[in-house]
Amino acid sequence: MNILLTGGAGYIGSHTSLLLIDKGHAVTILDNLISGNSKLIPNKANFLKTDISDEKKIKELLRKKKFDLVMHFAGLVKVEESLLYPDKYKLNNVDKAKTFMNICMECGLNKIIFSSSAGVYGNTSIMKKVNENSELMPTNPYSKTKHEFEKYLLNLSNEKKIKSIILRYFNVAGADEKKRSGLIAKNSNNLIKAVCEVATNKREKIVINGNDYDTQDGTTVRDFIHVTDLAEMHAIAAENIGKKNSEIYNCGYGEGYSVNQVVLEMEKILKHSLSKEIGKRRKGDIPYSVADTTKFKKEFNWNPKYNSLNYILKSALEWEKSFE
């Protein structure tokens, strides 16, 4: 297939590009490099530096090349930043995305796989997994933009203007086993990134944001999925898009690990303890977020390859060691 991919210089977009290329697909990446990193763009991918709302550049590309589908990763992703700059998030994640989709439809590109977020579910019931039909209650501007663009795509799908697959990511972690890509982020609030930075002496200590939640050990619980398994889910979605007007799938493993469990597992890998302290709860943090992944597993007979917290942490640590 010939696949157009926005945000391919980012963490998840670059991993997905690598996997698609490894499978023999042709990939063209659009990225403005504002948050992406050119070092993550695969050598075998075609690359166009552009904003997704640049009508002239994108129309020119779509008239020259015929694509089978578009994977839309581009967007801003920091929850804390979205609380400070909600208008910026709406502009980039909704308004510009709609402009881009309209350009695609005008040029005959009407199949889209969209990177959404488990954040659309909001504060779920304690210790209860969420499925694709669970109530949507996004609690911050970032997840609200994901929800808004989901609704936009579903409306277009219902009008039979496009075919769409929406993938709701839970907590993505780990790195490519060949160390071709991993998470590059300054002052990251990503737990596993922070733990790896402390493990490699790039950060002084781990701050555990709250230990008084109503969970097994008082710290928040998350469903961590290895980024390469998530990339594989995109490849499977690409092979199956178009069979229905629209579909939504959770992307996780259906297993929850607390912050304390993640830190403890890294300490086991390192064979020594890490510097850590208990901090205040972060505004908007959800106590428990774990996916019910039955739908994707059943429909595509899918079994993840990297469903191991130990492997996720080791691959992230190896990337952190290799990347300065």
Instruction: Provide the annotated active-site residues.
Output: 142
CA distance 139 to 175: 29
First CA to last CA distance, the chain: 35
Asked if 268 and 106 count as a contact pair (C-beta separation under 8 A), the reply is no
Closest by alpha carbon to 308, among 232, 229, 237? 229
Asked if 157 and 164 touch (Cβ cutoff 8 Å), the reply is: yes
State whether residue 66 is helix, strand or coil: coil
Distances in Å between the Cα of 179 and the Cα atoms of 14, 174, 183, 240 are 12, 10, 11, 29
d(CA 316, CA 23): 23
Q: Which two tokens stand for residue 123?
A: 């504060």
Burial environment of residue 150 by CB neighbours within 10 A (0 to 12, 13 to 18, 19 or more): buried
Question: What residue type is assigned to position 117 of the chain?
Answer: S
Angle at Cα 51 formed by Cα 49 and Cα 56, nearest 5°? Answer: 90
Hey, what are 122's tokens?
């909001």
- Residue 228 parent element (H or E): helix 227-240
